[in-house]
Amino acid sequence: MKTIQSALISVYYKDGLEPIVKLLNSKGVTIYSTGGTQSFIEDMGIEVVPVEKLTGYPSIFGGRVKTLHPAVFGGILYRRDNANDVSQATEFNIPSLDMVIVDLYPFEETVASGAGEQDIIEKIDIGGISLIRAGAKNFKDTLIVSSRNQYAKTLEILTEKGGATDLADRRVFASEAFAITSHYDTAIHNWFVNGNQQSVRDFENLPQKPLRYGENPHQSAIFYGDLDAMFDQLNGKELSYNNLVDVDACVGLIDEFDSKSITYAIIKHTNACGVASASSAKEAYLNALSCDPVSAFGGVVITNGNVDLAVAEELNKLFMEILIAPSYDTDALSLLKSKKNRILLVRKPIVLPKEMFKTVLNGVLIQDKDDSTESASQMQTVSTKVPSSEQLSALEFALKICKHTKSNTIVLAKEGQLLASGTGQTSRVDALKQAIEKANTFGFDLKGSVMASDAFFPFPDCVEIAHLVGIEAIVQPGGSIKDQLSIDYCNQNELAMVFTGVRHFKH
């Protein structure tokens, strides 16, 4: 057990600090501090020794150099059980610092705010991170408190142990300190490499949230990340592993659609079972639901528009796990909360990572997200028949959905509405047949509709099948050595076909 006799306190975030300072003062601890923290403590009527008295230097270079001095770091790092260290500390009048409370400049928050480069650079902490590493390295003698998230635990330990800590306490705090510095340095590295884009590579340093279980009840699971930064949860139970996977699929799909019209998407097992855009929320939702009302049961619904009472009355008829929207009218929210387990989320604006990864074999695959979405201007007409503007709009719509559907996939649509899709099939022909069967099941006439494929057609069989059910325009990436066979069939049967040159496999 080691009683704290001196402490260095220099923090950016001061909320929650006051009770610790008062406790240290009541135990007669000598407190050293700097700048704003010094003023904060003095305003409490507590005596503080300015760090300048130790170093003989004022804060210089606009605050860039304050604590970087042997008198400070020596007081943290010298080994109390090493006679030579003790002798040198005495020789150079270096006081021991038994406790260091210091946090880091809000680098990630500054990046997320969209601040300019110079503001971001000034939030790269030098002294703070050095103090944290020093305190953590010498945990045998020094307690390092490196985050405001540790204040409550620190107060609890000091209260329980009369202003003292044991080695086990200090080792735990040291471990947490190195996790904080590792995450901080990784965030800085990622900014230099990726600019303002988040990276998933340092996920182990993100906040951890244990989940009830994983994909199945016998699997354990943890979510790494800050859900509160992305959503406000207004109702319902905690999000599960499968919920989070579906929510991720929802967000990726809805972000394909701009706010010029209201779009609703219904997701089941990460695939869209309904998508529609319209001028009103109610119309968009009902059109999306009509695509496959059977699969919609127990699904996840997302929209890019406000949820008003008119659409809420329709949504309330459906058993759904989750509803995600940017906002809700008060009366709509009151109605939707009538189901206590229904999860209602408000999505916040946030920059999402541009990388994705998955574990495979004994390693990890990392790739860029598929951020390519081809518009009509990027579609090359390869058939004699040129698609109309309405068909091009429908092809754009279908391709957005196709990109977010498990391969092999075929998507059938008309302008502003998904009609059916074939998902995750081992052959493209099977995907098309599945889509046609679903469209027929739910009463859609495919005459005049369009078709999107995530990859090229190696044979003209899909084009022929599509033609026979009334599909009139097709979008695909092209790239098969037998592309001409599909083009020839289109020309012989007055079908319009466009190539994008971009494949959208999704596994």
Q: Which residues are known catalytic residues?
A: 137, 269
CB half-sphere exposure, 127, CA atoms < 13 A:
24
Residue 336 is encoded by which pair of tokens?
Answer: 């939707």
Which phi and psi (to 5°) does residue 141 adopt? -115, -20
Mark 193-218 as b/e (b = at least 16 C-beta within 10 Å): eeeeebbbbbbebeeebebeeeeeee
Which residue, among 379, 380, 378, 382, has the nearest Cα to 490 in the 3D structure? 382
Rounded to whole angstroms, how far apart are CA atoms 499 and 98?
Answer: 69
Q: Give all strands (DSSP E) within 53-190, no chain letters.
A: 99-102, 143-145, 164-165
Rounded to whole angstroms, how far apart are CA atoms 148 and 352?
Answer: 25
Cβ atoms of 474 and 498 within 8 Å: the answer is yes
Which region holds residue 200: left if phi is over 0, alpha if psi is between -120 and 50, else beta? Answer: alpha
Residue 466 is encoded by which pair of tokens?
Answer: 């599509």
Residue 353: which residues within 8 A CB-CB, separation 6 or more?
197, 198, 199, 200, 369
Cβ atoms of 55 and 69 within 8 Å: the answer is yes
Q: How far is CA 54 from CA 49, 94, 299, in A?
A: 9, 8, 63
